[in-house]
C-alpha cells in the first residue's frame, strides 16, 4: 500500500507543488483547500500523470467543526495518514501596528495558527493510534525574524515555530516526527494575497533577483519525508541565494 500524505493549502503554490512532488514519489494524496476547482484540476493531473489515488477535501481550516467532521468522515483507508503537511497560510497587508486592520489580523491568526492547530488536533490522534507519522509545518523566515509591516504575520509564524517544538515534545512518546520548513521568499500567489489582488505590488516583491520556486520547498519536504525512521530533520531554513535575511535582498 502506498503511503498517504495530507496537505493543507494544496490548491496553489507551495502546497500544490508538494502534492505533485509526493505523488511523483509514490504517495497517495489527500489535498485540502477552499478552492474546489483548483483541487479538482490538481487531482486530475496527479491521477493521470502519476497514477496515484487522490482525495480532495474542500475545507476552510479556520472552521474547527468542519475540520473535525471532515477528518472523522474520512474513509478508513484514508485515515492511515503517514505525513501531514500544515501548509495553508497567508499574509494579509503590511500595515504598521498602529494602523493595523483587525480583519487582516484575524485572517492571519485564524489560518496560520488556529487552522494549523485544528488540523493537527484532528489528525494527530490517527497517528498516535498507529504509533507512527510525520508532521511538517510550513513556517517562514518570518518565524525567525520580524520586519517592518510584518508584525502579525511574523507573530503567527513565530507561533508556528514554538508550536512545532511543543508538538515534537508531546508526540515523542508516540514515535511521531515533527519538522518545520522555513522558507524565505517564494514566488507564489502569496504576495498577491498579501497585497489584496494588487498585481503590480505583488510583482515588485520578486523583481531583480531569483526567488525560490514552490518546487524548491517541495524538494525539502521530499527530503524530510524520505529519511529513514530513525532520522528527524527538525528544521530547514531555505532562502533564495540572493536573500540573506528577511530584509536583505541583493536586487540587480
Ligand atoms: P499561496 O497563496 O500560493 O497558497 C496558499 C494556500 O493556502 C492556498 O492553497 C490556499 O488555498 C490555502 N489557504 C489559505 N487560507 C486557507 C484556509 N482558510 N483554509 C484552507 N486553505 C487555505 O501561498 P504559498 O504557497 O506561498 O503559501 C503556503 C505557505 O507557505 C503559507 O503558510 C505561507 O505563510 C508559507 N510561506 C510562504 C512564503 C512565500 O514567500 N511564498 C515564504 C515562507 C512561508 P485556498 O485559497 O483555495 O483556500
Ligand atoms: C513569507 C516570506 O519574507 O514575506 O513568509 O516573510 S516573507
Write down all domains in the chain, each with its CATH number in brackets. 4-238 (3.40.50.720)
Cα(24) to ligand 2 centroid in Å equals 28
d(CA 33, CA 31): 7
Contact, 163 vs 222, CB < 8 A?
no
Cα(215) to ligand 2 centroid in Å equals 17
Q: Which ligand is nearest to the CA of 112?
A: 1
pLDDT for 189 equals 98
Per-residue model confidence as pLDDT tens digits over 59-110:
999 999 999 999 999 999 999 999 999 999 999 999 999 999 999 999 999 9
CB of 12 shorter than 6 A to ligand 1: yes
Per-residue model confidence as pLDDT tens digits over 143-195:
999 999 999 999 999 999 999 999 999 999 999 999 999 999 999 999 999 99
* CA distance readout (Å), 22 to 30, 79, 127, 136, 195: 11, 18, 19, 13, 30
Query: Residue 153 catalytic?
Result: yes
Cα(54) to ligand 2 centroid in Å equals 30
Secondary structure class of 75 (helix, strand, coil): coil
Contact, 235 vs 180, CB < 8 A?
yes
CB of 69 shorter than 6 A to ligand 1: no
pLDDT for 221 equals 99
Contact, 61 vs 90, CB < 8 A?
no
Q: At what angle do helices 151-171 and 116-130 cross, to 10 degrees?
A: 10
Per-residue model confidence as pLDDT tens digits over 125-141:
999 999 999 999 999 99
Amino acid at each position: 500500500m502506498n503511503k498517504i500524505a495530507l496537505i493543507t493549502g494544496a490548491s496553489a503554490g507551495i502546497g500544490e507543488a508538494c502534492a505533485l512532488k509526493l505523488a511523483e514519489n509514490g504517495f497517495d494524496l489527500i489535498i485540502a483547500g477552499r478552492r474546489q476547482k483548483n483541487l479538482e484540476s490538481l487531482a486530475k493531473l496527479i491521477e493521470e500523470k502519476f497514477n496515484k489515488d487522490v482525495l480532495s477535501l474542500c475545507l476552510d481550516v479556520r472552521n474547527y467543526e468542519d475540520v473535525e467532521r471532515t477528518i472523522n468522515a474520512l474513509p478508513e483507508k484514508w485515515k492511515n495518514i503517514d505525513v501531514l503537511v500544515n501548509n495553508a497560510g497567508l499574509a494579509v497587508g503590511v500595515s504598521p501596528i498602529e494602523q493595523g486592520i483587525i480583519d487582516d489580523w484575524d485572517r492571519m491568526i485564524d489560518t496560520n495558527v488556529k487552522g494549523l492547530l485544528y488540523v493537527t488536533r484532528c489528525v494527530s490522534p490517527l497517528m498516535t493510534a498507529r504509533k507512527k507519522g510525520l508532521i511538517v509545518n510550513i513556517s517562514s523566515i518570518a518565524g525567525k525574524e520580524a520586519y517592518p509591516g510584518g508584525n502579525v504575520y511574523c507573530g503567527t509564524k513565530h507561533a508556528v515555530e514554538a508550536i512545532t517544538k511543543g508538538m515534537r515534545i508531546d508526540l515523542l512518546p508516540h514515535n511521531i516526527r515533527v519538522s518545520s520548513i522555513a522558507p524565505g521568499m517564494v514566488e507564489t500567489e502569496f504576495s498577491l494575497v498579501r497585497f489584496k489582488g494588487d498585481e503590480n505590488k505583488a510583482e515588485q516583491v520578486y523583481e531583480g533577483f531569483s526567488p525560490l520556486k514552490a518546487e524548491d520547498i517541495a524538494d525539502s519536504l521530499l527530503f524530510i519525508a524520505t529519511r529513514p525512521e530513525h532520522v528527524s530533520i527538525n528544521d530547514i531554513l531555505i532562502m533564495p541565494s540572493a536573500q540573506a535575511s528577511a530584509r536583505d535582498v541583493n536586487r540587480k
